Chains A and B, each alone.
Chain A
Amino acid sequence: MNNKQIFNSFLTLSKKEINRILRIWTQTLLPPVITQSLYFIIFGSFIGSRIGNIGDVSYIAFIIPGLIMMSVINGAFGNVVSSFFTSKFMKDIQEIQVSPTPNWVITLGYISGGVFRGLLVGLIVFLVSFFFENPQVDNPLIIALFVFLTSVVFSLGGFINGIFAKKFDDAQIFPVFVLTPLTYLGGVFYSIEQLPEFWQGVSKLNPVLYMVNGFRYGFYSESDVNIWFSFGVLLGFTVFLAFLAQYLLNKGVGMRE
């Protein structure tokens, strides 16, 4: 395929993904808005008012970036794993498999869907947060960089999960048993400085911590960890997962007998 053809194929796949997200918006866009609003109300308003500030910011302001990140992570991951697995299940993935579309374009197409949903959901949650607090925005560039790369990383994660998944349950296991704990323990609701030293060390093994803190730094210029190191972690995961996805597709894992 020449570049033009490759681009056409990518565009086809990407549009298909985006159409799907918009078509079933009650499943893709609405739920995170409702859940995160509940978090804002319960943790932010009811409980947060008794907690006081973390660093220089109020508790509700502190959790806003974390909650946005949480919906980005779930949206990106969930979109790719369910869309890709459904295509495997319905076998319409074969439409792409019999075509000359290169594997990296397949990955890129699905990732574009995950990134689209992650960023869109993130944006909506950000807008909703204004009902509760006016979050300060110190550094939009850092915010954009972290949220974009995070959505890429978790889209890739969802894609790889989809490659291995053989039944619908397999598409649920990783989100429930790995993703949710990592996010909840990734400094969305607290600063790890509040933890005993041992648990601070353990927390630093959690990649989500770096994403949430880097992102939060963009808002309040405060972070539990060095933000360049965070950036490095994110970049490292992006590259690693991209190569893993390519390797698995080339080997035909979960796709070819």
Chain B
Amino acid sequence: MNKPAIDIKNLSKTYTNGTKALENINLEVKSGDFFALLGANGAGKTTIINILTSLVTKTEGSVKVFGHNLDTELNAVKNSIGVVPQEFNFNIFEKVFNIVVRQGGYYGMDEKDAIAKTEEVLKKLELWDKKDVVSQSLSGGMKRRLMIARALIHSPKLLILDEPTAGVDAELRKGMWEYLIELNKSGTTILLTTHYLEEVEELCKNAAMIKKGQIILNDSVKNLLTKIDGEIYVVETNKSINKDVIKKLGINKVDDNLYEINVSKKKPLQSVISQITKDKLEIISIKPKGNRIENLFLSIIKK
């Protein structure tokens, strides 16, 4: 049996200013998994990642990466992880090529090997034509891809990405997803955090949700999605919806002729529409409201 890529037991973190960021976290990510770590802002996702990558010290608990203990086999842990942090952390005056080659050097690679691998990853991430550009003049999405390239320089077995697609446009995001899927298929375990449910659906096999430093849910993405109890739609009409219908369906009036309607299994879209259009009312537009992952939180937290 393969050892789990990540094995976290009773992990707690209290920052020096007294903030309790993590409380007794238990988390296992299997080798080969594509795992999503979800949670609202400030939930503790980055703290977990920073502990795994030794940027933050843990207060309590044990952490193992592919069976290597963080406390006693730090180098083995570091060699198996490549990390793409949430915030840009490269020298903005340095050229793209140098940033990636140097990272290889820090992992002890020979310069020749580091240069060859740099070419490979920069081409994969469509940054090769930017290799001689100073990093501060890259666009936001390119900067993020630069950090992905840098994280892959030493061919890590575990790739950790902290909100990798923040600020990346739709087309590039698709390309990035494909690349991540390819990496995962070739055996790289991937852990990512995200605020987009689409990303989880598209990429991940398993997911955990963290709230105020505690894991509140840990399941397969398939099971998780079935827990989404409905979705909120914003509906614009040409005149006011009948008061009785509003009451009956629990519709939330936002503005004149603008409503929010919760559509769930008990109240499917078809029946909702037929009820509000009963008295010659026309629907001008209908669209899902906001971020589905937030809806997922709301429905889970309510339970």
Contact = CB atoms under 8 A, between A and B. Distances in A.
Interface of A: 1-2, 4-6, 8-9, 11-13, 16, 87, 90-92, 94-101, 252, 256-257
B75 A100 contact: yes
- Scoring A1, A8, A16 by chain B CB atoms within 10 A of each residue's CB, the highest score goes to A8
B109 A8 contact: yes
A229 B251 CA distance: 88
Contacts, number: 82
Contacts of A1: 75, 108
Closest 8 CB pairs of A and B: A5-B108, A12-B105, A91-B89, A99-B106, A100-B75, A92-B91, A100-B78, A257-B56
A90 B89 CA distance: 6
A11 B108 CA distance: 10
Interface stretch (B79-87, B162-170, B271-279): B79-87
B106 A92 contact: no
Interface string B45-79: 00000100111110000000000000000110011
Nearest to A86: B91
Interface string B88-101: 11111010000100
Q: Chain B interface mostly helix, strand, loop or mixed?
A: loop
Nearest to B52: A98
A100 B81 contact: no
Nearest to A93: B89
User: SS class of chain A's interface: helix, strand, loop or mixed?
Assistant: helix
B15 A100 contact: no
Contacts of B78: 98-100
A252 B175 CA distance: 38
A246 B39 CA distance: 37
B90 A95 contact: yes
A16 to B, nearest CB: 6
Interface residues of B, number: 33
28 contacts: A1-B108, A4-B108, A8-B105, A8-B108, A9-B105, A9-B106, A11-B111, A12-B106, A13-B106, A87-B91, A90-B89, A90-B90, A91-B89, A92-B91, A94-B85, A95-B90, A95-B99, A95-B103, A96-B106, A97-B55, A98-B53, A98-B55, A99-B103, A99-B107, A100-B107, A100-B108, A256-B55, A256-B57
Contacts of B88: 91
Contacts of B99: 95
Contacts of B74: 100
B54 A6 contact: no
Contacts of B109: 5, 8
B292 interface: no
Contacts of B102: 12, 16, 95
A6 B89 CA distance: 23
Nearest to A105: B106
B78 to A, nearest CB: 5
Nearest to A92: B91
A100 B53 CA distance: 11
Given A87-B91, A92-B89, A98 B81 contact: yes
Contacts of A99: 78, 103, 106-107
B16 interface: yes
A116 to B, nearest CB: 17
Given A12-B102, A12-B106, A95 B89 contact: yes
Contacts of A94: 55, 85, 89
